[in-house]
Amino acid sequence: MKKLKLAILILVGGILITSCQSQTKEQQLTQKEKELLQRENDLLKKELGQSDSTIPNPTIDQFSVDKALVKKIFLQYLPNISDGRKLNSYTVDVGDLNGDNLIDAIVDYGLEPTSEDNGGGGNAIGEISGLVAFTNTGNKLVIADHSEEFGGNFGARNQLKEINNGVIFLEGLDYSEDDPRCCPSLKTTTKLILRNNKLTQLK
């Protein structure tokens, strides 16, 4: 009888030891999986240049803005502002214009003047220019403002150069005291911002 009890105790002890070893292995495996997952996350953060847990959700379909898209939308909008004039030139640039960390856009365009624009005179207008600002809502581009106010002078219109830190830079020419009307020679820079969805010049 004592031998039977001893055998039962040994058997139960063996089962308990095996169970504990199994649980320990499972815990070790779980810990290794956690460590591996943490390493993968750290590598991903390093690739993205991030130091904390701000990894973007890959399931979010972020609206992408590029110059080709801006051109397409601008050309669709053009008949509303051209009054039938032909497009002579345009320049597109993209950047955040309103501080919401979304990519917006600006188009600097020039229209071919008609004979009515020039009034039949000898001093013909080279281009009728303007700016169209687009803002990004997160899923589409919308027109924020259209302005012909910053075209420059008769002899040389302002031209879009870049968007930098939310500021739109235009370069052009102004008149010196000796310049004829056709030919301004002083280089100028005009700075604009988009304030309350309106293009505004910085003084």
Q: Which residue has the higher pLDDT, 118 or 91?
A: 91
Tokens of 147: 């302005």
E strands in the chain? 87-95, 104-111, 128-136, 141-147, 159-164, 167-174, 186-195, 198-201
pLDDT of residue 76: 95
The length of the chain, given as a count of residues = 203
pLDDT above 90: percentage of residues in the chain: 43
Listed in sequence order, the residues at least 6 apart from 123 whose beta carbon sits closer than 8 Å to its beta carbon are: 154, 181, 182
Mean pLDDT of the chain: 76
| Among 74, 60, 69, 72, CA closest to 133 | 74
Mean pLDDT, rounded, for 8-12: 49
pLDDT of residue 87: 95
pLDDT of residue 63: 64
pLDDT of residue 52: 39
Backbone dihedral region for residue 36 (phi beyond 0: left; psi -120 to 50: alpha; all else: beta): alpha
Q: Which residue has the higher pLDDT, 84 or 39?
A: 84
202 pLDDT more than 90: yes
pLDDT of residue 57: 36
pLDDT of residue 61: 41
Which band of pLDDT confidence, cut at 50, 70 and 90, is reported for residue 36? low
pTM: 0.65
- Distant-in-sequence contacts of 32-36, Cβ < 8 A, 24+ apart: none
Identify the weakest region by mean pLDDT among 58-67, 77-86, 94-103, 118-127.
58-67
pLDDT of residue 199: 96
pLDDT of residue 188: 87
pLDDT of residue 173: 82
